[in-house]
Chains A and B, each alone.
Chain A
Amino acid sequence: MSSASSEKSDIVFWQGNEVVARAAIAAGCRFYGGYPITPSSEIAAVMAELLPEVGGTFIQMEDEIAAMGTVIGASLVGKKSLTATSGPGFSLKLEHLGYACIAEVPCVIVNVMRGGPSTGLPTAPAQADVMQAKWGTHGDHPTIALAPAFHREIYLDTIKAFNISEKYRVPVIILIDEVLGHMSEGMIIPDPSEYEIIDRVKPSVPPEEYNPYDTQYGDVPPMANYFEGYRFHVTGLNHGANGFPTTVPDICHNDEVRMIQKVMKDVDTLTEYDEYMLEDAEVAVFAFGSTARGAKMAVEKARQEGLKVGLFRAITLWPFPEKVIHELGQRVKAFVVPEMNLGQMILEVERSVHKEMPIVGVNKVGGVPVPPYEILEKIKEVLQHA
């Protein structure tokens, strides 16, 4: 960074993808395994440039699945590890996302969402992978997904993603989109005093007493690194506390319940959101990611016209802020849910509100963001009938 003392010298003007990469380094990420795909490739490029400087490792693999494999391998050695991808690549990553869930290996996966399905719209934004993030890998599993909307938030949430992954031994997904990934926005780099860095808890017992999935210390078992004398076994099969495969129904059942419970018990502290002018609102706009930025503009315009409208901006998509949305549903008369898909998170809003009331979407899948005026129109329409 320049040391020029003029004006706001600490302002940087980075692409969203570069923000992710620089924040990962700040979080202590020292391994990146990737595969080129638009519109996320700049994350890999910046990591390739910066990691060697801090003694970290970058590798470009032969495919997305392999890239995710390297990330899990490096994490088992103790390195905080990152991979990034988009749409079709995320589909491929899901095989090993499930592995990271069952083997409880911390790592961070960024999906810079683009239009789909399949190759779809490689250079245009979408928010259509939100349900895939939750349900894409097979089997029941914990899912944590963050959807920051501003560059500074992308920075802080990338660090937070590493912290959560280390704290809970889970893969954490960051969902941004092509607009956020490629746009540059002025921001002040957060000072290290503004965030904490969390590292996985290492075992306190000697190797001969160590079990990699020992729950006697809580739902998140302490995690040893490979090559430090612990010589433990890791498998994608259902396993017992000792890490070895088992098919005993009670052990398998209880372990899967624990894997989800370890996250869900902290749902209140994990779910981050932003409320704007909701105190007296009759209509709540629910939005996330880049769409929330247009939604905020629509809410501001509506307020200027005297309409009682507010914005609920979800930053943590998974676990979903179910309780908060339910309570909000008791206070407002209607929800407007803009998203760059044909109606995905709206299902969660409906499920959480759990009562008869207008909950309407404003949906775009043509590769352009939802424009503020369309959200405003929908707000007015809803208010007329509310």
Chain B
Amino acid sequence: MPKAAVDYLYYLRAEKLPHMWCPGCGIGIVVKSMIGAIDSLGWDKNDIAVISGIGCTSRAPGYMDMNTLHTTHGRALSFATGVKMAAPDKHIIVISGDGDATAIGGNHFIHACRRNIDITLIINNNNIYGMTGGQFSPTTPYGARAATTPHGNIDPAFDLVELAKGAGATYVARGAVDNARMMEKYFKDGMEHHGFSVIEILSNCHTQYGRRNKMADAITMIDWISDQVVSNKKAAKMSPEELEGKIITGEMYHNTELAEYTDEYAKLIERVQAKAALKA
């Protein structure tokens, strides 16, 4: 049966539109795919909290007609952890940028992965600090120009998929803004997954990154992303030489065996209360 068209405006705060992002910004594609995923899951808007930190990407919750929380720089996951622990049966989605999630929020990121708490983290990775004026981030490629790398970036970049896997996330996927359908699938799978999910989206900031790196418009930048990405299915058949300079996308890790944090805490409460009842 064909899927009914998604009523996007039902999930948006229409009166807040138009949004504040630059024309052609990748964040719009991410938000649309998020709504598509939520809609296909049939979740009630009242049962969803969308939580963010600081940056361009972190403005997304303001447009979404749900329980929304725009927090401090890098710390969205800590607020989200409090919300989830206080309401374990609700759906918690955190949307973050690369600087927000992996620089100032790096510690919260790895520990949320380690706990395997049932939160979905979406990282819009556009390789730059957009809102503050184009400074380099932990994912800016080597040699790239940014406001604070006028002579080229010498910082090695994080591989967010490896970081998330290594830290203990139990669903990890990477998509890109050139393939919204795949992105929506990863979002849906990540949201449905009972544990900590990380979905990295390779995204375009032509305004801050592109202009400094000879890709001043959205199409050029999205083409640049398309040229680099290779699905993990394709990559499996490619030689290391062929994979040089490529970024692999796809579902990278999915483990449903490991215990989820709020489940563990619920069991702990049960154990403690049973013991207390025996004593009484």
Contact = CB atoms under 8 A, between A and B. Distances in A.
Interface of A: 31, 33, 52-53, 55, 57, 59, 61-63, 65-79, 81, 95-96, 99, 226-237, 244-245
B10 to A, nearest CB: 12
Contacts of A226: 49, 67, 83, 87, 90
Interface string B54-84: 0000000110011111111001011111111
B257 to A, nearest CB: 23
A52 B273 contact: yes
A57 B47 CA distance: 20
Contacts of B71: 69, 72, 99, 236
B265 interface: yes
Contacts of B40: none
Contacts of B84: 73
Contacts of A76: 69, 82-83
Contact of B78 (A61, A78, A232, A235): A61
Given A55-B269, A69-B78, A227-B49, A235 B62 contact: yes
B204 to A, nearest CB: 24
A245 B70 CA distance: 10
A62 B85 contact: no
Contacts, number: 133
Given A69-B78, A99-B72, A231-B65, A57 B85 contact: yes
A71 B83 CA distance: 9
B119 to A, nearest CB: 11
Contacts of B49: 226-227
B81 A70 contact: yes
A79 B85 CA distance: 10
4 closest A-B pairs (Cβ-Cβ)? Answer: A73-B82, A69-B78, A70-B82, A66-B78
B46 A73 contact: no
A66 B107 contact: yes
Contacts of A99: 71-72
B237 interface: no
B69 A73 contact: yes
B92 to A, nearest CB: 9
Given A59-B85, A229-B46, A233-B13, 14 more contacts: A53-B272, A59-B81, A66-B111, A69-B75, A69-B77, A74-B83, A76-B82, A77-B82, A78-B86, A96-B75, A226-B67, A233-B70, A235-B70, A236-B71
Contacts of B32: none
B273 A245 contact: no
A227 B89 CA distance: 10
B77 to A, nearest CB: 8
B273 A53 contact: yes
Report which residue of B51, B69, B80 has the largest number of chain A beta carbons within 10 angstroms of its beta carbon. Answer: B69
Given A52-B272, A53-B276, A236 B72 contact: yes
Chain A contact residues: helix, strand, loop or mixed: mixed
B108 interface: yes
A31 B72 contact: no
A71 B82 CA distance: 6
B16 interface: yes
A99 B71 CA distance: 8
Nearest to B114: A62
A66 B271 CA distance: 27
A234 B68 contact: yes
19 contacts: A31-B82, A52-B271, A55-B269, A55-B273, A57-B85, A62-B108, A62-B111, A66-B77, A66-B78, A67-B78, A69-B72, A69-B82, A73-B83, A73-B84, A76-B69, A231-B45, A231-B67, A234-B68, A236-B72
A232 B273 contact: no
A33 B82 contact: yes
B6 interface: no
B79 A244 contact: no
B259 interface: no
B87 A244 contact: no
Contacts of A73: 51, 69, 78-86
Contact of A227 (B82, B90, B110, B276): B90
B184 to A, nearest CB: 23
A31 B70 contact: no
A70 B87 contact: no
